Structure 1
Amino acid sequence: MKKVLVAMSGGVDSSVAAWLMQQQGYTCVGVTMKLYENETVGYCRSRTCCSLDDIEDAKSVAAKLGIAYHVFQFAADFETQVIGRFVAAYESGMTPNPCIDCNRYLKFDRLYHRARELGCDSIATGHYARITQQDGVFQLHAARDADKDQSYVLYSLTQQQLAHTEFPLGNLTKNEVRRIAEEQGFLNAHKRDSEDICFVPDGDYAAFLERYTGRTYPPGLFVDAQGNKLGQHQGLIRYTVGQRRGLGIVGSEPLYVSRIEPETNTITLGGKAALLRTSCTARQVNWLAGRIPEAPFAAQVRIRYHAAPCPAVVTPTAEGIHIAAQSPLSAVAPGQAVVVYQDGQVICGGTLN
């Protein structure tokens, strides 16, 4: 009988994932990753996904299923690989996606190796995505439930990881998952989904950065595309490319952040047209099939989580990829991910320059 390590956050998705794997005949081992001490990021225990309540919820489901359950302490890795990268990105004027880093360095790296140590054949998570195999090559596809699809944040998976990963929710909708949880009597069947970054549950990134680093971030100038002064900003960490709200600047048209320059501590503002780009590039590209195409190819690209796919021509380069979009892309934010699809299959992904 195959043995699987199931990542259980205490939420309904991972709980149903554990039940489904058990129904498929796997011997399941449940595990919750303790990613940080809440005091480290300045929140009480009741307000974040690493709360004792979440651990108790996961433990309760594991007990109901009759499976072994553990809590793994990954706080040091999380602080270095996720929080540290998050802070560095914002201080460099970029827009990070810590969920991608958490998947890359924690869920499908540290947890994967821990599963091997415990004699598990694979790991299973509550992500909404699908894995298939064709001609010996593993493929990652978008989930059946387009509203819940999480393939965008999973583009960093390798062939080795795909071969030993299970996404049992990939063909289910959220309503179907909740119905299964109700039928099984799980106490978290109607638990609210977490929507914010786990270590910044109130969404105030600037306050988190100041609290976590102990640093203050000086004000600087808002300028237009010609360098003319428009006003004063309140510190680079409070802004991202595409932002409109909270600028405090009145113009003849709505203004948006179009560029952030940490070297000069200036932020360029412009109208909506200033956000539009027909091409962009990305670095640190992961090709899920393990090989790089030799020629440009047609695809669809997403430059934000749940953004509508845009038809484009993707060209592999020595540095990563070049994307020529069929229609203008809006608010291409350096530091965010671009993920390339063909008919719902993830071909590659990387970090926008």
Structure 2
Amino acid sequence: MSPRTRYIVGLSGGVDSAVAALLLLEQGHAIQGLFMRNWEDDDTATYCSAEQDLAYAKQVCAQLDIPLHVANFAHEYRAEVFDHCLREYRRGHTPNPDILCNQRIKFHAFINYAQRLGTDHIATGHYARNIERHGTYHLFKAKDADKDQSYFLYTLGQRQLARATFPLGEHAKSTVRALAEQAGFDNFDRKDSTGICFIGERAFRPFLSRYIQPTPGPIETPEGVVVGRHQGVSFYTLGQRQGLEIGGRAGRSGKPWYVVGKDTPANRLIVAQGHDHPLLMSVGLEATELCWVAGRPPSTPLRCFAKTRYRQPSQSCVVEAITADCARTVFDQPQRAVVPGQSVVFYCDEECIGGGVIQQTFPWHTHETRYGIA
């Protein structure tokens, strides 16, 4: 790349994307900002106010003296991300909208929009590192392990990484906030965004019930004892403890109950007591919808590390086999609450090589056939 590259920086209104723009500008690049509107169903100050986010983005651009574009990707987000997630919830799976949003919106619709503006290069405030070696792009974890977001970026391939940069990959979050304060950004101490990508924090069950009809049914133990009623298996996930409202029933101790299975066809929610109950433990999994950063799958068997959720430490495993769209993985140690619909992401040391969507697990027990537990 030339020393002065033209970038469109995705500005969310948060401190991370603001400092990403600042760093690129200080490096001498030509910078423009882009604010994306991706959710319009109920944009209010209570949840995820696009107008408030836009005001912060405008202040950053004014401070840096760069232009700001505003693009509306609400149709694409609804069709490509939200509707897909609803279909997964109806299957009894628990999808990850942040990963899908990166794949379909931030690194597809955004890249295409940037090209229409006359530039091939975008930047975001993600904490990850994109390193080019001998014409091939590699995705690495961020230097700040607590903020690393490579898990959410595993779907990016060579086309996307050739056009994207992550200026925060070498920086700690504390440094980013300090740089924002020094630059005079109003959002320097703004709370990090959480909740559903572009939708914000919600009371999950009431929000989802606006789109998926509640279908109450029995909450049962693995032995078939009914201990309560659920509002619809779509509203629960494996390992969940809160919101079951069953206390210490069924003649058991007062220990907490956890969701250990979902029998979606029969509309049964299966629960058991014990944080590490055998029904929650899996020795392996199968994943589909595979994405490989290099553009091709690795050779198997592959000894590597994997994460089945964002905050999980990397777990040693062996990817035993990869077909056109299925990877079979076995862990060195049983893993708790491996959830269909979530993603398994593979690492070779610090490098993210790809991943896929979990479809089924290999249980560390013998109950799955007898009870029809998924």
Q: TM-score range by the shorter chain?
A: over 0.9
RMSD (Å) for aligned C-alpha atoms? 1.5
CA distance in 2, matches of 1:283, 1:166: 27
C-alpha displacement of 1:294 = 2.9
- Name the structure 2 match of 1:330: 336
The alignment status of 1:217 with 2:214, answered yes or no, reads: yes
Q: Tell me the CA shift for residue 85 of structure 1.
A: 1.8
Q: Is the 8 A contact 1:36 1:50 kept in 2?
A: no
Deviations 1:145-199 (A, max 9, x none): 1111110000000101111100000000110001111111111111111122245
**Aligned counterpart, 1:347:** 353
Aligned to 1:154: 153
After TM superposition, what 4+ stretches of structure 1 lie above 4 angstroms from structure 2?
none
| 8 A Cα contact 1:221 1:267, kept in partner | yes
Match of 2:243 in 1: 246
Aligned to 2:27: 24
User: Structure 1 residue aligned with 2:285, among 280, 284, 287?
Assistant: 280
Superposed, 1:310-329 pairs within 5 Å as: 310-318=315-323, 319-329=325-335
Deviation of 1:228 (Å): 3.9
Q: Percent identity?
A: 39
Instruction: Give the whole-Å Cα distance in 2 for the aligned partners of 1:295 and 1:98.
Output: 29
Query: What TM-score do the two structures reach when normalised by structure 2?
Result: 0.89
The aligned residue for residue 230 of structure 1 is 227
Aligned partner of 2:266 in structure 1 is 264
**2:371 aligned residue:** none
Counterparts of 2:90 and 2:204, CA distance in 1: 11
Q: Look up the equivalent residue of 1:87 and give its one-letter code.
A: L
Q: Does 1:144 find its partner at 2:143?
A: yes
SS in 2 for 1:36: coil
Shift in Å at residue 60 of structure 1?
A: 1.1
TM-score if structure 1 supplies the norm length?
0.94
Describe how 1:74-223 pairs up with structure 2 within 5 A. Answer: 74-198=73-197, 200-211=199-210, 213=211, 215-223=212-220
Deviation at residue 261 of structure 1 after TM alignment: 2.2
User: Aligned partners of 1:17 and 1:269: how far apart in 2?
Assistant: 45
Matched residue type, 1:6: V
Rate the CA distance shift 1:109–1:43 in 2: closer, same or farther, 3 A: closer
Structure 1 residue 245, shift from structure 2 partner: 1.8
Secondary structure of the equivalent of 1:25? coil
The answer (yes or no) to whether the contact 1:220–1:265 under 8 Å persists in 2 is yes
What is the rounded CA distance, in whole Å, between the counterparts of 1:244 and 1:287 in structure 2? 34
User: Is contact 2:126-2:166 (8 Å) kept?
Assistant: yes
Amino acid paired to 2:151: Y
Structure 2: gaps spanning 5 or more residues: 360-374
**How many residues are aligned here?**
347
5+ long unaligned stretches in structure 1: none
- Tell me if the contact between 1:48 and 1:199 (Cα under 8 Å) persists in the aligned partners: no
Given that 1:139 and 1:288 are in contact with CA atoms closer than 8 Å, whether structure 2 keeps it comes out as: yes
Q: Secondary structure of the residue that 2:209 maps to in structure 1?
A: helix
CA contact (8 A) 2:194 2:201 kept: no
Give 1:273 shift.
2.2
